[in-house]
Amino acid sequence: MSLLELREVTRTVIPQDQPALTILNGIDLTIEPGDHVSIVGRSGSGKSTLLNMLGLLDLPTSGEITFDDRPVRSYSSAARDRLRGAGIGFVFQQFNLLPGRTALENVTMPLLYSSGRTFWRRKKIAAEMLELVGLEHRLSSLPDRLSGGEQQRVAIARSLVRGPRLILADEPTGALDLDTGQSVMELIDEVATRTGAAQVIITHDPTIARRARRHFRLDRGVLTAVDDPSLEPLTRRDRREMAPADDDPAVLAALGFGADPTDDAALERGDA
Ligand SMILES: Nc1ncnc2c1ncn2[C@@H]1O[C@H](COP(=O)(O)OP(=O)(O)OP(=O)(O)O)[C@@H](O)[C@H]1O
């Protein structure tokens, strides 16, 4: 039995006064329980749109998505929300912590939607989760008193506190330095292994992607299986897209991403 399956999934939008735009084109993907999948794609390739499908936030224009072999389309919108809340944990690049709430309050938040014993034990469960991510000494800290890595750990604890069966991570280390990023990925792996959750990691970064067992590349809305994302050479254009979102050529040049816009042909060839 598969956990999540996408069959021939297409997503088309019709922007105002413009022709229809196909953002996802015939996506086939099966996620098994405990799976570990990476999806690498350039900016604009459709990653966020795909993530919204995998996270049951949007429905496809055509094709089918099943969760536990049941078509997602057959759920009411409220039932889909409940399924997502209990079954899927999201980890984003932006930690999205509630700024006025302590680490413990942030992690307790998803348990407010639980029932019975879990509801009444929610603070204890949240505290145990924070202990698991190594932050037992930070329970009453507000987010702005925590480092970036600590904030991401709180965000991970919050995403995983309901024991999701699927973890969806979108550029989870994008805002962290290399070492902190690695330890955050190790943490997600550890929790996923302990709970048997499947992981889907969407990233620009082949080093992060390589941690997965199965690899895919998304290119203009088409998903293709690849043997190893590290074998896909990064072009200068890829690198420039991984650069901070700052249009100032001088800043990009100072960061080593190349500033000359006339160089685009060479950038395409990857040899600039
Ligand atoms: N509602 C919409 N209307 C028009 N165009 C859209 C809409 N949603 C997405 N797009 C376009 O579809 C393409 C894919 O968008 P998407 O946000 O999924 O890309 P992405 O791979 O996540 O990009 P990034 O890495 O830069 O966030 C982009 O060119 C985007 O401009």
Q: Is 23 in the pocket of ligand 1 (CB under 6 A)?
A: yes
Give distance in angstroms: CA of 41 to centre of ligand 1. Answer: 12
pLDDT of the residue at 270? 47
Q: Which atom of ligand 1 is nearest to the CA of 50?
A: 18
In single-letter form, the type of residue at position 107 comes to V
Q: Is 48 in the pocket of ligand 1 (CB under 6 A)?
A: yes
Give distance in angstroms: CA of 101 to centre of ligand 1. Answer: 32
pLDDT of the residue at 177? 80
The confidence band for 208, taking pLDDT boundaries of 50, 70 and 90, is confident
Give distance in angstroms: CA of 46 to centre of ligand 1. Answer: 6
Write the ipTM: 0.95
Q: Evaluate the CA torsion angle 269, 208, 166, 184 in order and state its sign.
A: negative
> What's the mean pLDDT in 141-162?
92
Q: Is 99 in the pocket of ligand 1 (CB under 6 A)?
A: no
In the chain, what are the domain boundaries?
Answer: 4-232, 235-272
- pLDDT digit string, tens, across residues 183-200: 888 889 988 998 899 999
Q: Which atom of ligand 1 is nearest to the CA of 52?
A: 18
Q: Is 49 in the pocket of ligand 1 (CB under 6 A)?
A: yes
Structure tokens at 213: 């067992």
Q: Which residue lies with its CA nearest to atom 2 of ligand 1?
A: 13
Helix, strand and coil percent figures for the chain, each rounded to 5: 40, 25, 35
Give distance in angstroms: CA of 49 to centre of ligand 1. Answer: 7
Q: Which atom of ligand 1 is nearest to the CA of 46?
A: 18
Q: List Cα–Cα distances, 66 to 8, 56, 75, 85, 143, in angstroms.
A: 12, 10, 10, 16, 36
Q: Is 44 in the pocket of ligand 1 (CB under 6 A)?
A: yes
**Residues 123 and 109 sit within 8 Å (Cβ to Cβ):** no
Give distance in angstroms: CA of 75 to centre of ligand 1. Answer: 26
Candidate CATH numbers 3.40.190.10, 3.40.1160.10, 3.40.50.300, 2.40.160.40; the one for domain 4-232 = 3.40.50.300
Phi, psi of 216 (to 5 degrees): -135, 155
- pLDDT digit string, tens, across residues 61-111: 999 999 999 999 999 999 999 899 889 999 888 878 999 999 999 999 989
